[in-house]
Structure formats: structure tokens, C-alpha cells
Amino acid sequence: MLWRRSRARADARARHAAQRTADYVDARLPLSEGGGLLRKAFPDHWSFLLGEIALYSFVVLLLTGVWLTLFFHPSMTEVVYHGSFVPLDGTRMSSAYESTLDISFDVRGGLLLRQLHHWAALVFLSAIGLHLLRIFFTGAFRRPREVNWLIGVTLFMLALAEGFAGYSLPDDLLSGTGLRIAQGIMLSIPVVGTYVSMFAFGGEFPGEELIPRLYALHILLLPGLLLALITVHLILVFYLKHTHWSGRGRTNRNAVGKPMFPQFTAASGGLSLMVFGLLTLLSGIAQINPIWAYGPYRADIVSTGSQPDWYVGFLEGSLRLVPPWETVVAGHTVMWNVLLPAVVLPGVLFAVLYAYPFVERWATGDREEHHLCDRPRDKPVRTGLGVAALSCYAVLLAAGGNDIIAHAFEISVNALTWVFRIAFVLLPLLAFMVTKRVCVALQEADQERLTKGEETGEVRQTIAGGYEESHEPLDEEQRYVLRSYGYRVEEERASSADELER
């Protein structure tokens, strides 16, 4: 009895202390106002996890990046290596390359953390790209989310620059080859190209200033911009309710899904641990960017069969496909074979991405708010354009390795280059037409399912001696979903025709 009274008094004191703490915090911070956010609905479809994978990969990048800055020396000062990697003993190299070797072989856990950083960067960019594709194909960029689409495209562009800057820091032969290509791209800019190159490299290539400048961009400016835009992006996600797939009880006026706390928080926390664990496992068993195999950068050597990371591979391919076009104007040589694929093409790509939501709104005249996701089949033109763009990217990415492909299959590099040039023109057109026709066919199949029902696989013989397929009606949920995508009129028309026949 006495024990129960003591326990009751302790519980009362704990509740009183918790109440006082909550009142104290609420008087200074918006605690009570934020309570509603804990019940915010988040969709539970797997496709919405792509953005979270990008977020958790970015967290891994920040943590590993902070650790790597403690050991990396961003200097082009020439030194003689006498570290643990014996094959390079006595080799002259930059301090940046030497410190990267020390991280890989002399710092405990250094190679694991370095590879974890690199793998996280690849997953981060991949997740952003897939997230943008999901938003594009489902129409989640439409009103009122145009600003968030613009932020997402900017995040992708900054992530590309951040990845390239980090990739170039070790000053190995592979990254140095990439920097040499970057310098050629700068020089291709008419009139100001030479000045841009001299400013970036601090003089003639390779210069002494580029690595310190890339380091400042990589650890300060670009991560700061990414962190700021991710924060704004998440705030807008909270402010604008999520899109969701059509279903019973889901409309353009509500948000249906798991509450943020505790269901979504628990699921998202589990996903974060899975991302951390899988990235660590991948870093431990899958080698990536072995800079010791490439050696230090030398301006008179080019690494054979060099391939960049996938996110800039399309630029490599575009450079290899354009013929050697040059024009001399007023004493200035315009290198179209570099300017078009490496400057104009990326500019056009991001201009189209930025403008697309507004172009589609103008072309369709649709100015309504949309909170339901489109099925790609129900927007054949948009889906066709997306698939055509992906086919362009696939051709350019494959063309970036035309020498590797030609060597592996023992075919002519020149013939393969012409194959890729023709494919770059014809494949997108073919992909658009085929995709559009497939979307229309899938729409017709949905209309037939709604009108006649689902096929059972049984075939029956009629009294007249013919054969007919057996169908069973769709369940109410499936009928509701199909009707919500615009099939109601056709179904009612078919029902009216059946009644007239009777």
C-alpha cells in the first residue's frame, strides 16, 4: 500500500515537472503550434522514398566530408612520396595527391570513409535524378509546386558541380584528365574563354590555384547552398501538402497517408539506417576510384580508357560525337565541336528543365491546382517527351565509352561513332512515337477493363458455336481509380448502348 502511494506521488511529480517544462518551452518556442505538424500526413508509396534517400545520402556526405577535411591537404606544392604504398615510393606528386594516399593507406579507416564519401555522392545524385523523374512523369511539378520543381532542378545542378569539384581534388591522373577537358571547355567560350581559364586555374594549365579553389567550393560554398536549398525544399514540402495517388477518399482537396509521428518517423528512421548501412557495406566490399592505380597527374600524360562518373558521362559522349567543326570570325576561332556539346547542350538542358512546368501550363491551358499524381499512361505526350530525353541521355552516356566498347567488341571506333550519331537523332523520335502509342494502348486497355471487367482466362463456347472470353467485374477500388482518371464518360456511354440493345 505504501509502495503504491509513493509511486502515485512520484508519477504526480513527474507529470507536474513535465507540464512545467512544456509551459516553459512553449512560452519561448512555438511548441504548441508545432504539434499539428506531428500529425501531418505523408504518403506511403515507395516512389516517395527517393527524395528521402537523397536526403540521407547527403547526411552521409556531410559527416564523412567533415572527417576527410581533417586529413586532406588542398595544395599543389610538389613533394616526394615516401608513404606506405611502395610502388609510388620516391615519386614526385602534389601534396593533395600525397594526402589522399595517406588517407587511403595510413589513416585508420581512411579508405573506408573515403569510399563511403564517394559512394554516397553517387547515390545522392542518382536519388535526386530519379526523384526528379518521378515528379516529372507524375505531374507533381504543376501548380502549386512550380517553385519546388525549380529548387529541385537547382539542387541537381549544384550537386553536379559539387560532385565534379570533389572528384577533381585528389589530383590523380584520371581527375587531372577531366580538368584538362574542363579547361578546353572554358577555352571554347568565344572572346572570354582565355580569361575564364586563366582566372580558374590561376595562370596557365595546370596552375597552382585550382585545387585550393575547388576545395573552398567543395567544402564551403556549394555545401552551404545545397543545405540552404534543401531546407527551403523541406519547408515547402511541409507547407504544400504531398501529392498522392488516386484512390477512395483521396482528392485534390485532402492529403492521405501516414501521420508524421510516430508512423512516418519510424519508417523514415528505419530507411535512414538502411541507407547508412548499405552505403557502408558497399564501401567495404566494392572498390571505387583507386587513385593509386592511376598515379599522380602529369600534364604530358593522359590516362587510357578514362571514364568519368555517370553524372557527367553524357558530356563526355557529346564531346566525342560532334565532328571537328571550327569557324574563324574576326581572327577568333570558334570551336563548335567543344562549344556545342559542352556549353550549349547543358545550358539548353537546364533551360528546358526550368521552363517545362510553365510551357506545359501554357500549352494545355491547365491552371488548376493538382494534388493527385498522374499516371504516365494518361499523359502520353509528356511521357513520350520524357522517354525521348532519357534515350538521348542513354546514347550520350554510351558514346562516352565508345573506345571501351569498340575495344571490347573488336569493332571500328569510327563506325561506332557514326552509329551513335545516327541513334542520337533517330532514337528519341522513335522512343517518343512508341511510348505515346503504348500509353494510348494502355488507356484503351483500362477502358476495356472498366467496361467489360477483368479477364478470367476462361473461354466459353456460345450457343451459335462461337467463342467468347469470360470476364468478372472490377472491385470498387479499381473502378474508383479508373473513373478518377477520366474513364467515367466512356463507361456510362457503353452502359447506355448496352441498355439500348436490350
Task: Assess whether pLDDT exceeds 90 at residue 85.
Answer: yes
Query: Residue 204: helix, strand or coil by DSSP?
Result: coil
For residue 486, the tally of other CB atoms under 10 A from its CB is 12
Task: Assess whether pLDDT exceeds 90 at residue 23.
Answer: no
Task: Assess whether pLDDT exceeds 90 at residue 459.
Answer: no
- pLDDT in the model for residue 423: 96
- pLDDT in the model for residue 245: 85
Least confident range from 161-170, 230-239, 301-310, 389-398: namely: 301-310
- pLDDT in the model for residue 133: 96
> Hey, which bits of 68-160 come out as E strands?
78-80, 92-94
- pLDDT in the model for residue 259: 79
Task: Assess whether pLDDT exceeds 70 at residue 276.
Answer: yes
- pLDDT in the model for residue 46: 82
| CA nearest neighbour of 312 among 136, 116, 181 | 181
Q: At what angle do helices 413-452 and 310-321 cross, to 10 degrees?
A: 120
**What pLDDT band is residue 500 in, cutting at 50, 70 and 90?**
very low
* Dihedral (Cα; 44, 50, 53, 57), 10-degree rounding: -160
- pLDDT in the model for residue 491: 43
- pLDDT in the model for residue 30: 58
Strand partners, 221: none
Query: Residue 190: helix, strand or coil by DSSP?
Result: coil
User: What percent of the chain shows pLDDT beyond 90?
Assistant: 55
Task: Assess whether pLDDT exceeds 60 at residue 96.
Answer: yes
Task: Assess whether pLDDT exceeds 80 at residue 168.
Answer: yes
**What pLDDT band is residue 223 in, cutting at 50, 70 and 90?**
very high
DSSP string computed for 474-488: PPHHHHHHHIIIIIH
Instruction: Give the pLDDT confidence of 121-144 residue by residue, as tens digits.
Output: 999 999 999 999 999 999 999 999
**What pLDDT band is residue 109 in, cutting at 50, 70 and 90?**
very high
pTM of the model: 0.87
**What pLDDT band is residue 214 in, cutting at 50, 70 and 90?**
very high
**What pLDDT band is residue 339 in, cutting at 50, 70 and 90?**
very high
Highest-confidence range of 31-40, 244-253, 386-395, by mean pLDDT? 386-395
Q: What whole-number distance in Å separates Cα of residue 179 and Cα of residue 362?
A: 41
**What pLDDT band is residue 266 in, cutting at 50, 70 and 90?**
confident
- pLDDT in the model for residue 436: 96
Q: Are 103 and 85 in contact (CB under 8 A)?
A: no
- pLDDT in the model for residue 492: 47
Average pLDDT over the chain, rounded to whole? 87
- pLDDT in the model for residue 36: 60
Task: Assess whether pLDDT exceeds 90 at residue 3.
Answer: no
Instruction: Give the pLDDT confidence of 396-440 residue by residue, as tens digits.
Output: 999 998 888 998 899 999 999 999 999 999 999 999 999 999 999
Q: What whole-number distance in Å separates Cα of residue 224 and Cα of residue 218?
A: 9
